[in-house]
Amino acid sequence: MGKKKEGERSPRNFDNNRFDRSESYGDEEPNFSDDEDFVDDITDEELLADYLISKPREEDSYEGIIVVDGVPQVGPERLEKLKGVIKKMYSKFGEIVNEYYPVDEKKNTKGFIFLEYKHPSEAAEAVSVTNNYKLDKQHTFLVNHYSDFEKYMNIPDEWTPPEPQEYKDQGNLHYYLLDPDAYDQYCVICGGGNNVQIWQNSAPEPNVVEERPNWSETYVRWSPLGTYMATFHARGVALWGGPEFKQIMRFSHTGVQLIDFSPCEKYLVTYSPDGPSDQRRVIIWDARTGAEKRSFSLDGVSVWPIFRWSPDDKYFARLGQDILSVYETPSFGLLDKRSIKIPGIRDFAWSPTDNILVYWVAEDKDVPARVCLLEIPSRQEVRANNLFNVADCKIHWQKSGDYLCVKVDRYSKVKKEKNDVKYSDIKNGGAGHFLGMYYNFEIFHMREKLIPVDSVEIKEPIQAFAWEPIGSKFAIIHGDQHNINVSFYGVNQGQPPSLLKKFEKRQCNHLFWSPMGQFIVLAGLRSMHGSLEFVDTNEFVVMNSGEHYTASDVEWDPTGRYIVTGVSFWKQKVDNGFWLWSFQGKKLKKHNIDGFCQLMWRPRPPTLLSIKQQKEIKKNLKKYTPQFESKDRMRSSKASKELVEKRCQLMKAFNEYRQKNIDAWNAQKKRRLELRNNVDTDELESDTKNVEEEEVEFLVKEDHTIIDE
């Protein structure tokens, strides 16, 4: 290269980003400050686009990082195997985006590791499930959020008692139970879902307790004991209660569509399908405080309710792929830190009175299907029953938990003639056979020693099954569309079920037992045009028959005194409304309401009376009859008195209105004479009214007849 000419500028040194200031600027120090009125119109994105990608964001935090202590200390030769075990265990909670295994000077792990999840909810579930997990006899994991260390380090040395919070009286949430006449309440959704009304079923006419337009955006639901009414909104769920139905609590869960209460109303489960599957879709809340207890993400197809609760709210369970996960409260962690592995499990249900759950396992080649009863929390199997040729099972608990029925759909092979063999027969059951169906009802006697099991077999298609809520009877609708029968069976201690009564050729497809037992309604809904039969199962007498055309819903009140049939706007757009019936089938009221959607009776908590006291009251019911009849007469006379008074007021108002107009007519007579040239047309009108009738005779026809002598 040639020599640099005098005055030539030195090139920039890109290796160290330096300028030769002496040659570029001389002895004068450069000034890089902007003018006072300078405005920078170039954005950071234009200048530093590549660097802004790695700029820290607001959502970046330590909430997705967990610290696992108690990990085995291994050398470099076993590190990869340890990583495989850890990854297999913790990757099921979500995507692990980073991991760090600290090592000492000898390259041995230090016994703790750091794992970072993509979402904080995944890290929270990993901490909740794996904390205190026993890997082997010598290693137990202690798992915490990384942010917990800073939180615990900042705890002050001196404890300061919290300030007392002002008590907010929510009122008597069970006030409706104190009604002296024991009137029940019910909720009506009408106006196509835009109006919600709370009614009291008083006599002789019901009265409105509360009415609010747009109270809920979809539908409403009562809690199991009737304490709260839940409404649905875009941002979550609200609970209402008390005499004025004030808002008790609200739960923020955007797009919530389904909810479920625990049996004792301690907890509320909400479900929202919005958002990706790895976010919170199911949340469990404390119904009294509104605190979020735990959230879950859903994988695959699930059936609502996802969680099923034990009768005392101490446990809830979830069905997975070949596993049954049982959680305990109030920790909301897995019972014994592990799920129950049950290959082939299909369904399960809790006993309504005991912490016992039943599940069934599908048939697998030569291994029969099984129905198992499991006691929780010991996980002890208290009863199991093997079943063969099983297509499907349905679990039905009796309300008092005394009996359990498992409906079993079974295959049966039927011989056919050689000439009738088809390819489908060969495919399903071999040459000369085809697969038919028959049905078994396996009855478990839960209160008897060793839990004996009886079986009832029916070879006709099953339309419906239902236990008597209080009692030991069950009913079955069976047969094809042209020959539907209803059979009633009784179950006694130490004896197999016996057929009590069979009603043949009935028009029904649903069974609705009274909450108090004994009475049942055989209903033919929708396609059967709303036919109804009211049956007393003590004597098996049809008390009455009726019809509510195109009825879609049937609802008993909590006391078993009344029943409602309705035609919902959600199912068809015409003839909407509901009818009120007595338990004997007498039609009491017709309410035709435009846009009627649903009627829901307010539930009542279980009675505080013992079974002995209830039997004593039923035995001496005739003693109370005169009191009830007296009250009915007073209501009737009161209603008659109110009707007469109302009619008198209407008559009085009409006479006053009539006299007012007569006075105005007389006051205007002078002006009428002036306008009519002093001709009193009023008198003319009265004269024409008093004109006597005049008879006029005229010849219509004349005939001549010649009479011969």
- Render pLDDT for 124-155 as a digit per residue (tens, 0 to 9): 888 878 888 888 888 899 998 888 887 788 88
CA distances to 182, 200, 283, 562, 627 from 633, in Å: 17, 20, 52, 20, 10
Q: Across all residues in the chain, what is the average pLDDT? A: 84
- Domain with 623, as residue range(s), is 616-670
- Residue 14 pLDDT class (50, 70, 90 cuts): very low
Cα separation, 179 vs 602, in Å, equals: 14
Q: What is the pLDDT of residue 59?
A: 45
- Give me the mean pLDDT over the 283-303 stretch: 85
77-93 confidence digits (pLDDT tens)? 999 999 999 998 898 88
Q: Is the pLDDT of residue 419 over 60?
A: no
41-57 confidence digits (pLDDT tens)? 666 666 666 666 555 55
Q: Is the pLDDT of residue 421 over 70?
A: no
Cα separation, 200 vs 207, in Å, equals: 5
Burial (Cβ within 10 Å: 0-12, 13-18, ≥19) of residue 401: middle
If one compares 628 and 347, the residue with the highest pLDDT of the two is 347
Instruction: Determine how β-strand 333-334 pairs with β-strand 282-286.
Output: unpaired
Helix axes 621-667, 611-619, angle to 10 degrees: 70
540-595 confidence digits (pLDDT tens)? 999 999 999 989 999 999 999 999 999 999 998 888 999 999 999 999 999 999 99
User: Is 693 part of a structural domain of the chain?
Assistant: no
What percentage of residues in the chain have a pLDDT greater than 90?
Answer: 49
Q: What is the pLDDT of residue 8?
A: 42
Q: What is the pLDDT of residue 113?
A: 93
Q: What is the pLDDT of residue 426?
A: 37
Q: Is the pLDDT of residue 427 over 70?
A: no
Check the CA dihedral 190-191-197-202 and report its sign: negative
pTM tops 0.85, yes or no: no
Listed range (415-429, 442-456, 567-581) with the worst mean pLDDT? 415-429
- Give me the mean pLDDT over the 439-449 stretch: 93
Q: 3-state DSSP helix/strand/coil percent for the chain, to nearest 5? A: 20, 35, 45
What is the domain count for the chain?
Answer: 2
Q: What does the block give as tokens for 466?
A: 């239902």
User: Is 708 part of a structural domain of the chain?
Assistant: no
Q: Is the pLDDT of residue 430 over 60?
A: no
Q: Domain end: 153, 180, 198, which one?
A: 153
If one compares 654 and 8, the residue with the highest pLDDT of the two is 654
Cα separation, 182 vs 104, in Å, equals: 75
- Give me the mean pLDDT over the 277-299 stretch: 83
- Give me the mean pLDDT over the 179-192 stretch: 91
Q: What is the pLDDT of residue 325?
A: 92
Q: Domain end: 90, 125, 153, which one?
A: 153
321-345 burial, b at 16+ Cβ within 10 Å, e below that, comes to eeebbbbbbeeebbbeeebbebeeb
- Give me the mean pLDDT over the 356-378 stretch: 92
Pair 532, 546: CB distance under 8 Å: yes
Q: Is the pLDDT of residue 698 over 80?
A: no
User: Is 115 part of a structural domain of the chain?
Assistant: yes
Q: What is the pLDDT of residue 44?
A: 65
User: Is 506 part of a structural domain of the chain?
Assistant: no
Q: What is the largest CA-CA distance in the chain?
A: 177
Cα separation, 350 vs 356, in Å, equals: 6
Pair 453, 444: CB distance under 8 Å: yes
Q: What is the pLDDT of residue 692?
A: 59
Q: What is the pLDDT of residue 132?
A: 83
User: Is 4 part of a structural domain of the chain?
Assistant: no
Q: What is the pLDDT of residue 229?
A: 95
Cα separation, 478 vs 485, in Å, equals: 5
Q: What is the pLDDT of residue 2?
A: 43
Cα separation, 694 vs 650, in Å, equals: 43
645-666 confidence digits (pLDDT tens)? 888 899 999 999 999 999 999 9
Cα separation, 505 vs 485, in Å, equals: 5
Q: Domain end: 108, 123, 153, which one?
A: 153
User: Is 276 part of a structural domain of the chain?
Assistant: no
- Residue 493 pLDDT class (50, 70, 90 cuts): confident
Strand arrangement of the beta sheet that strand 65-69 belongs to = 96-100, 112-117, 65-69, 142-145
At 243, phi and psi to the nearest 5? Answer: -60, -30
Q: What is the pLDDT of residue 375?
A: 95
Q: Is the pLDDT of residue 37 over 50?
A: yes
The CATH number of whichever domain residue 134 belongs to comes to: 3.30.70.330
Q: What does the block give as tokens for 540?
A: 């098996």
107-127 confidence digits (pLDDT tens)? 899 999 999 988 887 888 888
Cα separation, 610 vs 608, in Å, equals: 7
Pair 87, 79: CB distance under 8 Å: no
Pair 209, 216: CB distance under 8 Å: no
Residue 282 CB contacts under 8 Å (≥ 6 apart), including other chains: 269, 270, 271, 295, 296, 297, 298, 306, 307
Residue 109 carries which DSSP code?
Answer: B
Direct distance between the N- and C-terminal alpha carbons of the chain, in angstroms, rounded to an integer? 174
Q: Is the pLDDT of residue 3 over 50?
A: no
User: Is 191 part of a structural domain of the chain?
Assistant: no
CA distances to 386, 407, 424, 437 from 389, in Å: 11, 13, 19, 10
If one compares 406 and 15, the residue with the highest pLDDT of the two is 406
User: Is 8 part of a structural domain of the chain?
Assistant: no
CB atoms within 10 A of CB 558: 18
Q: Is the pLDDT of residue 691 over 60?
A: no
